[in-house]
Amino acid sequence: MPLPPQTGPKLGRGFWVERELEVPRQRYTPEPIITKLRQAEVELVRGQTTAEV
């Protein structure tokens, strides 16, 4: 009787090999994060909701 196909992430060495082949994620530096947070704060003070910001 054959085994059912595996689902979900592979564990062990194969998992890490697949992770290395993925497109690297963009790393944000503190400066753009602070800028976005300040812009959001201004918009919140002006009456926008968090969903709109």
pLDDT at res. 9: 57
pLDDT at res. 46: 96
To which residue do tokens 């201004």 refer? 42
pLDDT at res. 6: 63
pLDDT tens-digit map of 1-53: 676 666 665 555 555 556 666 777 888 899 999 999 999 999 999 999 999 99
pLDDT at res. 26: 84
Answer for the pair 22, 14: CB distance below 8 angstroms, yes or no: no
pLDDT at res. 16: 55
